[in-house]
Homo-oligomer: A and B are copies of this chain.
Amino acid sequence: MTSASTNPDTLSYEQAGVNYDLIDPLKVSAQRAAAATAVHLGGHGFTEVAASRGESAYVVDVGPFYLASIVECLGSKVLVADAMAELTGRSWYEGIAQDTIAMAVNDLITVGATPLVVQAYWAAGGSDWFGDKARAQALVAGWKKACDTCSVAWGGGETPALAGIVEGDRIDLAASCTGIISPKSRLSVGDDLAEGDAIVLLASSGIHANGLSLARKLVERLPEGYLTEVEPRLSYGEALLAPTILYSPVTEALAKAGIAMKYCANITGHGWRKLLRHPSAFTYRIEAVPPVTPVLQFIQKHAQQDDREAYSTFNMGAGFAIFVKAEDAQRTVEVAQAQGIAAIVAGRVEAGPKQVVIEPIDVTFGTEDLQLR
């Protein structure tokens, strides 16, 4: 990451405790081993969609349609929910459930898939976790509600009690999601992404579920911790816990409207550097940025991050990017808005070196800023 600030008071993601240097060699080795297993699909009469390797969901051609699948972790947002439960006496797990499903569903839809089945993975530090009925019921209710929003079937799941692995009174939440891409023309792994295509950005609700390590570390700097007000009557903790927006209603509505998504980027870890996800060399020119949600403005200010650091870490108001033909851009915005989700035509794909140029804030990220493959 080349976005390290020279301001000694800046709180960066690495300082917040996540060391990608240690994780990445394993990832590379796992990705190589995984790629070598694709050959097995041939034995069943199928093939992988090779372009989906390195994308947010894995896609297999099973004949009449494509099959997409994924497993995703919520991460450390539960620690904010637990801290806020102590401070406020109420459970925040209904929103946490939505966050967890959003992690899986919002990745699955990037390839053009309709999510069909979600499985729950709720690994608690001990049986006692499930003994707090209000919290457990909030998790169930939120999970159900998020499935309803995404029109997905909750297939089942796993609720292990893992004393000695998961910490006492904590829970490790994840979701797997399976879907199909049908008709096959809905596949959006970016093979036809071209110069002139438009970049539409869908609004985020707040921090979503990425950058929480830093957001939690920041609490130490705040006078009233999680209860510090981001704006009148909105505490930092509550603002952080705004549930991640579920974007599948938008992608499904686009399909129904006959608008083809060429490519998508779920803006999660690495913030706007995720706009560089597509493997080809294109320049992504951003001429308009969405409003930054108050909690992210607040974090940027208190963590003393410059725009480069902030946009390379957080979603900064844009939770999901959809790449469409230029003539479909405005309708894409309208379809999103009809689903209650703000959207803007933010920029376009150009010929040129691989970079994202965010003109309104004068920040450019290049290939050295994102190594996902």
Contact assessment for B38 and A153 in the assembled complex, using a CB-CB cutoff below 8 Å? yes
> A-side binding surface: helix, strand, loop or mixed?
mixed
Tell me if A221 counts as interface (CB < 8 A to partner B): no
**How many whole Å from A38's CB to the nearest CB in chain B?**
5
Q: State which residues 219-257 of A face B: CB under 8 Å.
A: none
Tell me if A121 counts as interface (CB < 8 A to partner B): yes
Residue of B nearest to A151 (CB): B40
Report the bound CA distance from A29 to B157 in whole Å.
13
Contact assessment for B29 and A137 in the assembled complex, using a CB-CB cutoff below 8 Å? yes
Contact assessment for A69 and B27 in the assembled complex, using a CB-CB cutoff below 8 Å? no
Contact assessment for B33 and A76 in the assembled complex, using a CB-CB cutoff below 8 Å? no
**How many whole Å from A307's CB to the nearest CB in chain B?**
27
Contact assessment for A180 and B62 in the assembled complex, using a CB-CB cutoff below 8 Å? yes
Report the bound CA distance from A108 to B325 in whole Å.
40
A71-B71, A76-B162 are contacts. A120–B30 as well, Cβ < 8 Å?
A: yes
Report the bound CA distance from A175 to B69 in whole Å.
12
Contact assessment for B114 and A44 in the assembled complex, using a CB-CB cutoff below 8 Å? yes
**How many whole Å from A119's CB to the nearest CB in chain B?**
4
Most buried by B among A17, A36, A73: A73
Tell me if A364 counts as interface (CB < 8 A to partner B): no
Which of B76, B116, B123, B131 has a CB less than 8 Å from the CB of A172? B123
Copies in the complex: 2
Report the bound CA distance from A17 to B26 in whole Å.
33
A23-B159, A64-B63, A116-B60 are contacts. A144–B174 as well, Cβ < 8 Å?
A: no
Contact assessment for A26 and B172 in the assembled complex, using a CB-CB cutoff below 8 Å? no
Contact assessment for B116 and A157 in the assembled complex, using a CB-CB cutoff below 8 Å? no
Report the bound CA distance from A25 to B137 in whole Å.
10
Which of B20, B72, B79 has a CB less than 8 Å from the CB of A158? B72
Q: State which residues 118-154 of A face B: CB under 8 Å.
A: 119-121, 123, 126-128, 130-131, 133, 136-137, 140-141, 143-144, 147-148, 151-154
Residue of B nearest to A29 (CB): B140
Most buried by B among A20, A44, A69, A171: A69
**A73-B158, A165-B167 given; 4 more Cβ-contact pairs under 8 Å:** A27-B159, A34-B153, A70-B176, A165-B166
Q: List 21 A-B contacts (CB under 8 A).
A: A22-B128, A23-B127, A23-B130, A26-B136, A30-B159, A33-B140, A36-B144, A37-B152, A37-B153, A58-B119, A58-B155, A60-B117, A67-B117, A70-B119, A71-B121, A73-B158, A75-B160, A76-B165, A162-B172, A164-B170, A165-B172
